[in-house]
Structures are given as C-alpha cells and as structure tokens.
Chains A and B, each alone.
Chain A
C-alpha cells in the first residue's frame, strides 16, 4: 500500500470520515473518479500523472453534498476549483477535508479554506506551454481564419453538454440553454446554435474559469473549447487583474464595479 492508500484507510478506520472521493484505475489505463466508503477498498486509490481530471464537480453533488465526513483527493485543478467554489459560496468551510500533494509527493492535509487558499498560492496558475502555444496559434490567425477555425469546430459539436457537466463552475441548476421563455439558445445542434452555446458558456465563465481544461478533455468530439474560456480567463487577468481560483473571498470581475475600472459605460 502506498501513502495515499494508507492515509485513506486510516481516515476511514478512524470513523471521523466516511467517504473519500479520489481516483482509481479505469479502463485502458485511464484514471477515473472513485468513491471509497470502506477501509478495505482504500487500495483502489491512485494518484499519478494520469489523474488530471478536475473532480471538484462532485463536492456539491446532491447525493454527498451534505455529507460532512468526506475527503477529496485533489490535484491542482481541483484545488483551484475548490477555492473558486468557496468564493462563490457553493461549498462550505469544514464540510470536507482535502488531501493534496507536495512537490515531493508527500500528502498534505488541508482542513480549512484558509489552508487550501494558502496552498493554492504555491501552485502555478498560468497555462501550460502546450496550451499557451495553442492560444497563440489562434490569436495569430487572421479574423477570417479564426472564424473558419471555430466554425469548423462548432460544426462538430453534438450538444451533449459533457463540457458543462464536467465543469465545476457550471453548477447552475437550470442553465441558460434550458430556459425557453424566451429560447435564448437554439436546442438542436448546428453550427450557429453551437457557437451561441459555447460563447455564452465562455462569457458566463469569465473571471471564474480556473483553466483546468476539463471541458475540452470531456468533449467526445475533441473540440478545443477550453481555449474559449482560457481566453476570457486571460482577459480577466489582463483587464481586471482577476485570476479565478486564487482567493476564497474574491469578487467576480464581471459582477462588480470598481471606480478604477477601465470601462466608462457604467458611469
């Protein structure tokens, strides 16, 4: 048994905790979320580079939301989402414990939002080199080429909403696409309606996207839709100095007004 499995076993045996949300080995070497309730199942837990999925989405899941004896094994994406969810009052201090990992692989117990926030401050918050290169490639395109690029991508979308379902920040019980009086976004999936959907989603995530890329990873058609929310995340940083997932009491850049804001339309 490795450190994580031992730790999980101890926590469950102690009786202080009843559920560990983490990762296990899935099909074909993929990692997947797992829910461990018994100490003897702790050996299923893994944590390695395959565990790049953001699993913060489970913290507010109806079935376990009110279970205060839960633990979540968090990678850096999940940690940032927890901070952002805390800032938006979607998760509550003391409702769960976080098991994070130090650079040397040591397990770190984080019990309060303050501890989580402090730990997250030590993490890298930018895009990876590969992601930054993709962003640059698109930003360097001419307007026509960029339009053609996205038109091609949106033509493939089947509107399965895997992007929305896997995003921890997409927690609205009724999404704008499901509001039909009026029908803001067309329901069938065609290029125009798909564009409406993804642009709307990106705008709703402005200043809230923690750039985990989970939406893109979830897409069965492999649309690089994370680039849209990355773009609004980078703009939020540039124009409002707002980086989502860094502060448990941050205000949302697009939901507040400051006298020193660049825009004057509201004055």
Chain B
C-alpha cells in the first residue's frame, strides 16, 4: 500500500482547501459536552481528543432522517417529486476511526442486499473517508476481537496515523483516496518510513468473534439464557442509534397541509413495539427475544445471509447504554455458556 507523509500544517491546508472548494467536510467536533461528527467550516473546529465520537460516522450515508421523496395532494390527485440525487454533496469525512470506517462495509451489505438503496449508495459514493488510526483506547474498545485493529485500513479511502511529532503517516487505500491525494499532491511528501505499529493503541483481544459465530445459533432456543442476558436492558434505542452497522428503520410521512414527504428514520429492534402487528400479536414480545434479535442479527444472520459480521468492536453501544449492557461481555457469555 502506498504511503506518504502529511505534515500537520499541510493537513490544515488540505482541510482548508477542501472547505474552500465547497466540499462538505464532516469531522469530529466538540459541541457542548460531547464530541460528534458535524459539518465544519474551519479546520480549527476539528478535535482529535476522542476515543470514538458519540454517534457513528454512518450518519453521513444513513442520516437519522432521510426524505425519500416529496408529495402533494390536490383534490383527489397525488403527485410525487422524486428524490433529488443531485442534491447529495461531495463530502469528505475526516477523523473516522478504523472501526467506524469498517462499519460502512456491514451497512452497505444491508443497503445493497439485492435491491440497491441508491440514496444510501450515492451518499457513500460521494464521500471520501479519511480515517485516523487510534493511538488510545478505553475499556469499551474491542475491535481486535471482531477482526479489526486500531490501525486497520479497511473501509477508509485514506488512513492517517498521527506520529509523535504531530505529522501524519498517510496510507492510500482506495482509488478514491488516490484521487484526493493526486488532487492535492503538493501537500503530500515522501514517506519517512516511521513504524506505524508502534504508534497504535493496544487493544487486548478478549475473545474471538469466530467463536461467537460458531456458538450463537445453538443458543437461539435457550430462552432462559436470553431472559437473563437481557434482564438489565430497559429497551431503549440508544445502542442501535449510535451503532455504525445498525440499519433498522421506520418509514413515516410528514405533512403540512397537502404537501409533505415520506421519511426513512432510524428505529431499533430493542423497542417493544418494533414488531407489533396491528392485531396485537407481537412475535418478539419480551426483551429477551429483542436482545436475542440484536445479537443474532449481528453475529448470525448477517454472517449467514450477507457474509459480513454486524459488529466492528467500537463499543459505542456499551458507552451509550444507560444500564451498561456491555456487548463484548455478552459475546463472551455466549462463548462460555
């Protein structure tokens, strides 16, 4: 893989030029009490003081609300205004951790499963992902248990790794990444040959996700196991909404008078009414069944049907959980029980 070097000053120039060229630049920004991905208008808004952002990078391609099309009703007639694909901006997403970047792989497998969700794919196609290797981690991180690593290039178009002098090692991963580097070639210099591995955070691999995959199907019928695993879970949607690979959604209409739009918005399999039929029947009527769905989806159904694991080990769900449902622990329980 081709390597280059980007000084911290050149990094500032790169971002400033991208903003100047009307790219939508999205980066981790400290807003109020937390750090999240936001559209920036100046390099100085960027922070690197985070393990991971609160919300995942998925919002760039799968925003919490997506207007699918507009409609208008007049008398008895309905007219529809199709989605304006031209409105999707060229974006550069920076500061994406390797776990998050890899999350797009899982997410894409869902949105491209036979029927291509062109809104999602166009958003992603028009986004260049500049990853940033992790130089620190916390107790929630477990990417090395789910086939990732703090310096993994998978999913990024370009991966930056910060060196001790504040400059960055640049790894050019995809053609899209190569194009961006070519477009601003004067900012990138020859690679200095610094050892990348020594700069990375050390994340202990506490389990092997293959063992979860091998075991989880046999646990499906073990109702007592899932009930006990989910006892603490209070059934909110926090885990799903911050997860880089969770794709469950609702479709709703929002109207003002005769005009309105149909919206695709996030929903979560953990919510009690998610699968409720109009008749009152609910195939997943208790939290144990809903928690099972969450884990089975990630570690059984997605591997089986889409050939990808639905978890990247970012630990966001566990950090966001009001009752500390730590998914890595639950994976280990599956292996052990």
Does B168 count as interface, using CB distance less than 8 angstroms?
no
B140 at interface, CB cutoff 8 A: yes
Q: Does any Cβ of A come within 8 Å of B242's Cβ?
A: yes
**Given the interface contacts A165-B235, A166-B236, A221-B54, does A188 sit within 8 Å of B324 by beta carbon?**
no
Given contacts A33-B232, A158-B64, contact A186 B318 (CB under 8 A): no
Q: Judging by beta carbons under 8 Å apart, are B286 and A63 in contact?
A: yes
Q: Which residue of B lies closest to A175 (CB)?
A: B273
Given A62-B286, A217-B322 in contact, is the A160-B232 Cβ separation under 8 Å? no
- Bound-complex Cα distance A4 to B266 (A): 42
A27→B268 contact, CB < 8 A: no
**Residues in B whose Cβ lies below 8 Å from that of A62:** 286
Contact of A35 among B33, B232, B268, B329 (CB under 8 A): B232
Residues in A neighbouring B240, C-beta threshold 8 A? 160
In the complex, which residues of chain B have a beta carbon less than 8 angstroms from the beta carbon of A164?
A: 236
CA distance in complex: A185, B29 (Å): 30
CB of A34 closer than 8 Å to a CB of B: yes
Q: Mark B64-102, 1 if CB is under 8 A from A, else 0.
A: 110000000000000000000000000000000000000
Q: Once the chains are docked, how many angstroms separate the CA of A50 from the CA of B237?
A: 24
* Complex alpha-carbon distance, A53 and B323, angstroms: 9
| B308 is an interface residue with CB less than 8 A from chain A | no
- Determine the chain B residues whose CB is within 8 A of the CB of A214 once the complex forms: 322
CB contacts (< 8 Å) of A63 on chain B: these are: 227, 231, 286-288
Report the separation of the CA atoms of residues A188 and B323 in the bound assembly, to the nearest whole angstrom. Answer: 25
| Residues on A with beta carbons closer than 8 Å to the beta carbon of B323 | 32-33, 53, 166
User: Looking at the complex, which one of A32, A156, A160, A186 makes contact with B236 (CB distance below 8 Å)?
Assistant: A160
In the complex, the answer to whether B252 meets A161 with C-beta atoms within 8 Å is no
Q: Is the CB of B250 within 8 A of A187?
A: yes
A218 touches B318 (CB 8 A): no
How far, in Å, is B212 (CB) from chain A's closest CB?
18
Q: Determine whether the beta carbon of A160 is less than 8 Å from that of B254.
A: no
B263 adjacent to chain A (CB < 8 Å): yes
Instruction: Judge if B7 is at the interface, Cβ distance under 8 Å.
Output: no
- Residues of A contacting B138 in the complex (Cβ-Cβ under 8 angstroms): 28
- Decide if B60 is an interface residue (CB 8 Å cutoff): no
Across the interface, do A165 and B236 meet the contact criterion of CB distance under 8 Å? yes
Does any Cβ of A come within 8 Å of B32's Cβ? yes
Q: Mark A199-224, 1 if CB is under 8 A from B, else 0.
A: 00000000000000010011011100
Q: Chain A, 121-163, contact with B by CB distance < 8 Å: what is the 0/1 string? A: 0000000000000000000000000000000110010111110
Q: Which of B236, B254, B288 contacts A162 (CB 8 A)?
A: B236
A28 touches B237 (CB 8 A): no
| Partner among A26, A186, A220 whose Cβ is within 8 Å of the Cβ of B326 | A26
Which residue of A32, A166, A187, A222 contacts B265 across the interface (Cβ within 8 Å)? A187
The 9 closest A-B pairs by CB, nearest first: A218-B322, A220-B320, A32-B324, A165-B236, A26-B324, A188-B265, A162-B236, A160-B237, A165-B234
A32-B323, A166-B234, A220-B54 are known; give 11 further A-B pairs, CB within 8 A.
A27-B324, A27-B326, A63-B231, A63-B287, A63-B288, A156-B36, A158-B64, A187-B265, A188-B64, A220-B319, A221-B36
| Interchain Cβ contacts under 8 Å between A and B, 9 examples | A27-B318, A32-B324, A156-B31, A158-B266, A162-B322, A165-B234, A217-B322, A220-B238, A222-B34
